[in-house]
Homo-oligomer: A and B are copies of this chain.
Amino acid sequence: MQVSILGGGGFLGRKLAARLARDGAIGGRPVTALHLFDLHPPPVPDAAPFPVRALAGDLLDPAALAAAMPPGTGVVFHLAAVVSAAAEADFDLGMRVNLDGTRAVLDRCRALVATGEAPPRVVFTSSVASFSGGQDGVIPADGRQLPANSYGVQKAMGELLLGDASRRGFLDAVCLRLPTVLVRPGRPNRAASSFVSAILREPLLDLPATLPVPEDFALWLCSPRRAMDWLLHAAALDSASLGLDRGVNPPGLTARVSDMLGALERVAGPAARARVQPAPDPAVAAIVSGWPAAFDPARALSLGFAPQEPLEEILRAFVADDLDATRAERAADRPPAG
């Protein structure tokens, strides 16, 4: 089975490529080739037991996308996106990548199906940002997506489109509305949720961090490890069990910022926690305050998605998986300007 990762150069894409290289298979089916695609050639994971191609191109370039999803493609992880704050800052860019890009993936799958291939499984990363409702209440499995940000709107539109394409047999989608993923390595990015990782990662690097929301602010969270488990489970799932509803709210974790800082203190001591200082940011708060902090996980659990591990385990996983590499990257970086 050939596998494509669109957005293969991003945080989740690189983790996923490494995981596939380690596992060699998805749901018991061997991976025979891995095609990594991004705007720049993605890094190739070490010691993969199958050939790996690193391709650079634009999702909206049909020839480039066809190269990234060649004949024989069985699973496509469509992770390519413009993140929340960037899509809010630039409406056209968000529409282009988040909506038109998804439509391009549909078109490519349809072209493969037209040649007699089975509809490829498309695992699409949607987001908690496709909901509103904020801090109150628990979103049911069939909760309405009424997003209060352009990124969430574009993700919800992509889900509708991929659901229809699945019904029509152009592809076979599973749309995972990922919680906020923490702890992200690297530097802060333009996701409005970037602070969620920063307030844990930066203190673990002995660096200060700022908190743009109050400590009692609650979030719906998952770890990179669990996100990988979910992506792979979604890739192998029998989609007949989903019926018309291709959207899944995987079983994340509700935690307040104070819970996260408490876990930081237990893992790294009070000095680490003391590195986080409040710095209210109304622009960030305006986006993230609409995101729900709790979902009913029953459907996802019944579909076999693994529940989220607790906060301290998430922090220890970051220390084990990413801290040294993050520290090395920072050391190699030139100091940030300004």
Q: Report A's interface with B, CB cutoff 8 A.
A: 91, 132, 142-148, 150, 153, 156-157, 160-161, 163-164, 167-168, 244-245
Assess the A161–B167 pair: CB atoms within 8 A: no
State how many angstroms separate the Cβ of A7 from the closest Cβ of chain B.
22
Q: Are B164 and A245 in contact (CB under 8 A)?
A: no
Q: Which residue of B lies closest to A148 (CB)?
A: B244
Cα–Cα, bound, A91→B109 (Å): 14
CB distance from A77 to the nearest CB of B (A): 23
Copies of this chain in its oligomeric complex: 2
Per a CB cutoff under 8 Å, which of B91, B150, B164 touches A150? Answer: B164
Complexed CA–CA distance, A163 and B145 (Å): 12
**Contacts known (A157-B157, A157-B160, A160-B156); A146 close to B245, Cβ less than 8 A:** yes
Set of chain B residues within 8 Å of A244, measured between Cβ atoms: 132, 146, 148
* CB pair A168 B144 closer than 8 Å: no
A150 — which chain B residues lie within 8 A by C-beta?
164, 168
A153 contact set on B, CB distance < 8 A:
160-161, 163-164
Given the complex, which residues of B lie within 8 Å of A157, measured CB to CB? 157, 160-161
Kindly state the separation between the CA atoms of A132 and B144 in the bound complex, as whole angstroms.
Answer: 13
Select one of B144, B147, B148, B163 contacting A143, CB under 8 A.
B144
What's the nearest-Cβ distance from chain B to residue A158, in Å?
9
Q: What is the CB-to-nearest-CB distance from A281 to chain B, in angstroms, rounded to a whole number?
A: 20
Across the interface, do B132 and A148 meet the contact criterion of CB distance under 8 Å?
no
Q: How far is the CA of A130 from the CA of B121 in the complex (A)?
A: 25
What is the chain B residue whose CB lies nearest that of A143? B144
Greatest chain B CB density within 10 A among A160, A168, A244 is at A160
Residues of chain B within 8 A (CB-CB) of A148 are 167, 244
List, in ascending order, chain B residues with CB within 8 A of A132's CB. 244
Of all chain B residues, the one with the shortest Cβ separation from A132 is B244
Residues of B within 8 A of A164 (CB): 147, 150, 153
Query: How near does chain B come to A315, taking the closest CB pair, in angstroms?
Result: 35
| Cross-interface CB contact of A146 among B91, B142, B161, cutoff 8 Å | B142
Q: Report how far A212 CA is from B145 CA in the complex, Å.
A: 34
Contact (Cβ within 8 A) B144 A91: no
Which chain B residues lie closer than 8 Å to A147 at the CB level? 160, 164
